[in-house]
Structure 1
Amino acid sequence: MSVRTRVKTGAAGLVAAACVAVLMAPAQASAAPAPTGAAGGGDNCVANLGTGTAACYPSFREAIKAATGGRVADAPTARRAAGDKDFLTRLNAPANGGGAPDARIADPQYVQGVLYEHGGYRGRTLVLQSYLNCNAGKDKWLLAGYELHDFNDIVSSVVVIPGCKVTLYQHASHQGEARSYTASTSWLGLMNDHASSFNVHSL
C-alpha cells in the first residue's frame, strides 16, 4: 500500500522515497481495499502529498485553514478562490513573510493546487498540500505516483499555484493520456471526468 514520492533538489540531486496511503494509495494495491473517504466529514478535502494523510471538512475555508496550518484562515469561497491572485499567492507564501521558507519552522505547510469536481471551480474540492513550496527557486522537485480514488473520473477544473505544475493522467499509475496544467483551468476539456492519477512538479 505504498506509492513513490520523489523529491529532487537541484543542488544535491537527492531522490527520496516515502510511503503514502489513504486518498492517494495505488489503485492496484491488494493488501486492503482503498478507503472510500478520508478522515472527518465534508466535501472539501485536503490531501497531504508528503505524508499520505487526508481529511475532509464542511467548508473550503476550513480545508484551507487546515492545509496551511492556520496561516490562511480567511479563504474566499472555493469558486472565488480561483480568481483571487492575492489569495493564491498567500497559499505559498513563507510563514515568515519573506522570500524563502523559514528554516525555524519544522513542518511548513504549502498548497500546490486544488482539484474541483465540476467545471467552473464548483463542487467537491481536493486541496493538494505538502511541505514543498512552489517558489523553491533553484531547488526543483517532483511529487509522483498519486491515485485519485474518491476523485477518480470526476475532476473537471483545477487551480494551480504559480510556480507549480499539475499533471493529470487518464488511468491509474500514470498511464493513458496526460495533460499538464501550469495555470488555473476552469474546464479540462478532453481530460474532463477522465483523470485517475496525477503528479505535482515545481517549475
Structure 2
Amino acid sequence: MVAVVYTEDLELYAELYRVLRNAGWKVSWKEGKGVALADLGHLPWGQVWVWRTPFGLRAYEPKALRFLTRRDDPKTLPQGLLGRGGFCLSPGEARALAHLGGVEGALEGLNRDQRRFFLKRIRLKFGLPEPLLQALARHQVEVAGLQDHLQRLARPEAEPFLHVPGQEDLQGQRPLEAAPVA
C-alpha cells in the first residue's frame, strides 16, 4: 500500500511516516499514486484529511463520512485506511455538517434542541476551531456533490396545484363551507 501525504507541517509528515511505515506502507511526500492524505491546508488534494490534536492524530474520510482513528491514536490509522475500525457520523451529524458547509435546509425538520445537540456533537467530534471547521464543512459539501443542491436539500416540496380528493373546499377556489360528506 502507498500513501501520499500533502502537508507543509514536517512534524505531521514525520508522525504519519513513522506510523504508516511501521504498518508496512510506503509513504511519499506530495508525489506519486496511492491513498492521498492531506492536512487542513490542502483539503482539495486529499482522500483522507488528517490533523493533529492535543491527544494525537485525527483522520477523517469525507466520502464515507467516517473517522479513521480511534481516540486520536495514530497507530489505528493504518487499520482505518484499510476499512477496519473507525466510526461514522450519525445521519443527524451529517446533516449538521452539511448545514455548517452552507447547505440551507439541511437541519429542517429538527427542533431547536436537536439542532443544537447535533451541531455541538460535530464541534466536539472534529475538535477544530470554528473557522477551520467551517472550511472543512464547505469542502465536505463539495466532495459530497451537494453544491448544486444547496437550496434544496432536506426540503419536502409539494407539487403545485396538488389535488387531494375530498379536500376541494380547502384549495382556496371557493369560500370555506361545510366539509364534504364521504
Could you state the TM-score of these two structures normalised by the residue count of structure 2?
Answer: 0.25
Could you state the TM-score of these two structures normalised by the residue count of structure 1?
Answer: 0.23
Bigger share in strand: 1
Bigger share in helix: 2
- Greater RCO (CA < 8 Å, at least 6 residues apart): 1
